[in-house]
Chains A and B, each alone.
Chain A
């Protein structure tokens, strides 16, 4: 019995290793975190380290001189969107954001459509064969948060990683049977090769995908 469970644990470990390898191959950033608190710290640090990237359609992205860019900086407030988080976790994230002067939101995703800096979410399944995250997101707020963010940070408990799509089949079917449903497979950041077949990251979706792997 003991031997068997050791074997199962080893098998799962290799599935997890495969997931990490494949996710990295798809240009995702994969990091192991100890717990939710670390995940939140990671996210807030990430937000702080990145230039605010909200793209006002009127040209927030135009190349400005260094001076002009610096002048603009203080007026920008970075946004972390985290709909669908459990209340305790959201409270913690909100508190950390407050300490750094970031805005934390869990609704109203349609108003900053010009973009949020970070979308924070939880994955329901991880598929090792392709390094894919599965997000069951019938709620519009969560869905939008993962689409309009410049950087998507997603927490994936290791126990939710399965070998391949077929191992996730029953669960997928459960999602779909509970209509209406919107389920997303997400593998790496948004990409295109439509101009001269040159792989370019970040067309309409996130420019970065960070996967935070957590025990449990």
Chain B
């Protein structure tokens, strides 16, 4: 639940979570175990096809929402169910309270429903004097503790067996130990009685099949079966997004939902309910069944060209499972009611900007969620779009407005960067780091050393180092990005040398600017669009085969986000397509296009490891190229644990959430140091800044280099 009044409070709350040792280790173990069990569950499956199926099915629902709803209502009512439509949470709760009154229900048992959490149904029922008992073990635990869920599938993942043992001791009035199996049996006994006594059973629904008016429930414990069988009244509350056409759709979604959620091929139970089933204690031996179909902001989402893909969410919770920030702070901080990446978006639509405002800024943009989403939702992009929308509604804060304004004017931006060289003089040391930072601007940044701006940016060096190629094997344009232009020009220079030696003719269009990702991260979509157009124009006249960049974040932004950013402008469509199709990262270009050979390299087989930038492994789906290059160049590559997990940089993220950034960096550096490597390579200047800064603070001897630098140094001298 989000109660923080402002970003500062929210940061403080996150920081508190960091000191929760149990939570940290539980979520660490989970993150690692989940990856393995998911991979196992999907072995032999074409995952992309399954994701494509879900997207198609949900997109179809979107296009035929009204028809599907009326078909569902007709089929269900023909089979003896009453179907209600609720526009918002309050209306849904009122309908269910009314049903309880009319059917004279006093006690309620519930099985797990995120939608009921969304509407805060329990509170509404209790206010009317009903006794409500959650029967899913995790939900029962958090109900007894008066908490919200901290994970969509495992709501009590933040609690230890000891805490639960104490809780159950209170509840049963007799001492309980910490044996998990016994604690589970306590729940079995305590709750069986509740099932027997309850007048009403409330469930959610994973699917609502229009064709037959059937609902489907996906569960493991078996409580939903009892909830839908024992009480005389059954109410199922479901979002309108749960509608599908036929059982065939459901069987497709069912292939991916449990595998993505928990790494199970299928859950213990999938329950299909059609019509008013037999019930020995019901009127005429029939159960009184009500389906409540909820809008609550879903239609607004559905009608929005940008956000409609959120409809594809099947609530598997996988986006939290892989989120490095969730792993640090847990679901109570990384969500309001819905958790993880999808939670950041849904909170805005279901619970309003007030609850979403701080939360939505806590995305490091590593794309791990996008990579794993069962519906193929571009979650990071939509999170930024929500942020942009909130700022549009409430006014953009000065710093982000300013950055946006500055970036729109390339000359001003570059002048400011050059000026930084003079401003930093009193604080710079002679190893390229800032000796001390003006702490008023950098509170919380003590965990890493920051680099100084280079004496001479790459753009000024370029005319002097541009090689003359008489018979070029190919022609490329260089896109440097800000960091390699102004902070690490030597990385670009190393690449230029390597390319020149391989007969690559190069150009460096001077009018290129920042790729725009930093402003996009800050929710400044207009500025992001303007900068994109500037870069497009800068490269427009270049007749090149590839546009090569040494920065994975720039590359992935140029390649994937530009076409989306500029999709509204028909005149640019063709241009942006041409531009984006030419973008390639350094390692792929050198390994796959230039195909460098071991004979070119010399030197000892130093032990080296790799950090895979988020935007390289997920943004560009590049995995082998940089590692192949390390081996080709004769380095002794040893794999670190979790090489593809974020280093905590995330551009402006590390400035906004330094405490979280520091934790991610620490974990990363522990894994790096454990390899015993003396060299750490990576393909992104942002990651280099983070990793070097952290290692310097640790006093480590490990050298961090861009792959381009390492290769360049190891080339045989002619």
> A interface vs B, CB < 8 Å?
22, 25-26, 55, 57, 59, 61, 110, 113-115, 129-132, 138-140, 143-144, 147-148, 165-166, 169, 172-173, 175-177, 179-198, 200, 202-206
Contact = CB atoms under 8 A, between A and B. Distances in A.
A194 B266 contact: no
A111 B278 CA distance: 17
A147 B226 CA distance: 7
Interface in B187-238: 187-189, 191-193, 195-196, 209, 211-214, 220-223, 225-226, 228-230
Given A61-B185, A176-B247, A187 B221 contact: no
Contact of B278 (A138, A177, A203): A138
Contacts of B214: 176, 181
8 closest residue pairs by CB, A with B: A205-B222, A180-B275, A179-B275, A179-B79, A194-B138, A185-B270, A190-B222, A203-B221
B26 A204 contact: no
Interface stretch (B151-159, B323-331, B575-583): B151-159
Interface string B258-288: 0000100111111111111111110000100
B157 A182 contact: no
B254 interface: yes
Contacts of A169: 247-248, 251
B222 A130 contact: no
B578 to A, nearest CB: 42
Contacts of B157: 197
Contacts of B156: 194-195
A184 B267 CA distance: 12
Given A165-B255, A180-B278, A185-B271, 15 more contacts: A110-B281, A138-B277, A139-B278, A173-B212, A179-B212, A180-B79, A187-B268, A190-B269, A191-B220, A194-B136, A194-B141, A194-B156, A197-B30, A204-B191, A205-B268
5 contacts: A144-B229, A147-B226, A179-B213, A192-B138, A200-B180
Nearest to A55: B189
A190 to B, nearest CB: 4
Nearest to B282: A140
A200 B189 contact: no
A67 B233 CA distance: 44
B707 interface: no
Contacts of A113: 192, 195-196, 230
Contacts of B625: none
B273 A197 contact: no
Nearest to A167: B251
Nearest to A193: B154
Given A57-B192, A113-B196, A180-B80, A203 B274 contact: no
B160 interface: yes
A213 B606 CA distance: 60
B393 interface: no
A132 B273 CA distance: 18
B251 A205 contact: no
Given A182-B271, A192-B137, A197 B26 contact: yes
Contacts of A187: 265-269
Give chain B's interface secondary structure class: mixed
A131 B228 CA distance: 24
A176 B164 contact: no
User: Which of B246, B247, B271 counts the most A-chain CB atoms under 10 A from its CB?
Assistant: B247
Given A22-B265, A110-B280, A197-B30, A203 B222 contact: yes
B161 interface: yes
Contacts of A195: 137, 141, 156, 159, 161, 164, 180, 183-184
B47 interface: no
Given A176-B274, A187-B267, A204-B191, A192 B220 contact: yes
Contacts of A176: 209, 212, 214, 247, 272, 274
Contact of B247 (A140, A173, A206): A173
Contact of B222 (A139, A173, A193, A204): A204
Given A57-B189, A195-B164, A181 B268 contact: no
A184 B225 contact: yes
B573 interface: no
A205 B180 contact: no
B385 to A, nearest CB: 33
A144 B195 CA distance: 12
Nearest to B250: A165
Contacts of B255: 165
Contact of A204 (B135, B247, B281): B135
B304 interface: no
Given A184-B271, A194-B155, A147 B225 contact: yes
Contacts of A202: 184-185, 188
Contacts of B230: 110, 113, 144
A186 B137 contact: no
Nearest to A63: B182
Contact of B268 (A115, A172, A179, A191): A191
B181 A200 contact: yes
B117 to A, nearest CB: 15
Contacts of A55: 188-189, 192
B33 interface: yes
A204 B134 CA distance: 13
A179 B279 CA distance: 14
Contacts of B160: 196
A203 B272 contact: no
A138 B187 CA distance: 28
Contacts of A182: 228-229, 271-274, 277
Contacts of A172: 247, 272
A195 B332 CA distance: 17
Contacts of B286: 180
Contact of B223 (A184, A186, A204): A204
User: Which of A185, A204, A206 counts the most B-chain CB atoms under 10 A from its CB?
Assistant: A204
Contact of B137 (A22, A140, A203): A203
Nearest to B164: A195
Nearest to A200: B184
A59 B266 CA distance: 33
Contacts of B181: 200
A179 B273 CA distance: 9
Contacts of B185: 61, 202
B189 A147 contact: no
B43 to A, nearest CB: 13
User: Which of B141, B159, B246, B270 counts the most A-chain CB atoms under 10 A from its CB?
Assistant: B270
